[in-house]
Amino acid sequence: MRNACGDPVDCVLKALRGRGMKVRPGGESQWQAFCPVHEADGQGHKPSLSVGTGDDGRVLIHCHAGCPTESVLAALGLKPADLMPSKRRKPPARKNQRKVLGPIVKTYDYLDARGKLLFQVTRHDDPKTFRQRRPDGNGGWIPNLNGTPRVLYKLQELLAAEPDEWVFVVEGEKDVESLASIGLQATCNPGGAGKWNQLDNDSALHGRHVIILPDKDVPGRRHAQDVASRLRGKAAMLKVLELPKRGHQEPSGKALPSRGAALLRPAAHRHLFRLPPRQPIPEIGLRPSRPELLRLLPPPETRRVPG
């Protein structure tokens, strides 16, 4: 059963106040009050009842003197179902409630052309999210990029690459790392889709052979077209190419778990490098060498895209 009185927190706090139990804030989404079971006599007790909210929106009640929750609810005229969030809607966010970041599980350094650390992108889990931060000069971090130049990821490696080497533009740092792990040159802009215009400049890609690999969703495709429009006439060669979907089934029945892993699969080699349907696919290992990868690429002039 679900409660029928709206916001369960409001129900509990209203019931406490209605029985003369003084309620005061005790932290984010937490309150302290007199226990209606053993502190209802108004004899100057120290509030011992804690009220808070769980991750699923339910109300959590705990009497530090040991009164059972059922007894507290009975004294308030409530039922256990009144502690549960309404099934019809999510519990509203409490005022002044801050979103708590999960632990950092990965950091991506953005360096300038000389190798100086400009800023980091941090990945957090539970929930999965990304943040940006810059050094404060004292060994700490400032949680914004105010006034910090936005540069391409792996800018130094990009500048050091051979001028005729294919460069893959993807949407996030994880995909850049996946491509780099199999010997391909790759980059992205900070912030993901729709943020290419925030770069200080993209001149490291001018005069290069560029393949844009979009994410297979509307924002990803729009981002790819935006990047293509900004590089058109500046890149020596330019192509927007969608890889097989994540989870695409090969004849072997194995799924492609990620874009980086997809490049290790023969089906993806044929798709990416546009090999004729009946042409044998060269065998490469799980960690192919640079010569093996270059052997798969046709000459640049055969891959030019009009306009």
Q: Could you list the mean pLDDT of each consecutive 10-residue stretch along the chain, which spans 307 residues?
A: 66 87 78 86 76 83 88 90 72 56 89 95 87 92 92 96 90 90 90 94 94 88 94 91 57 42 48 48 42 50 41
- Residue ranges, comma separated, of all CATH 3.40.1360.10 domains in the chain are 153-303
Write down the pTM of the prediction: 0.55
Contact present, 191 and 139 (Cβ < 8 Å) = no
Out of 3.40.50.1820, 3.40.1360.10, 3.40.50.460, 3.40.50.2300, select the CATH number for domain 153-303.
3.40.1360.10
Q: Which of 72, 30, 74, 76 is nearest to 50 (CA)?
A: 30
DSSP letters for 19-38: TT--EEEEETTEEEE--TTT
Q: What is the pLDDT of residue 305?
A: 41
Q: What is the pLDDT of residue 249?
A: 45
> Looking at residue 159, what is its pLDDT?
95
DSSP three-state, residue 118 = strand
Provide the H-helix boundaries in the chain: 8-18, 69-76, 155-160, 173-181, 218-231, 259-262, 266-273, 290-296
Using CA atoms, how far apart are residues 110 and 119, in angstroms rounded to an integer?
5
Structure tokens at 287: 């960690």
- Judged by phi (left if over 0) then psi (alpha if -120 to 50, else beta), residue 186 lies in beta
Which is nearest to 51 in space by CA: 25, 18, 77? 25
Q: CB of 141 within 8 A of CB of 135?
A: yes
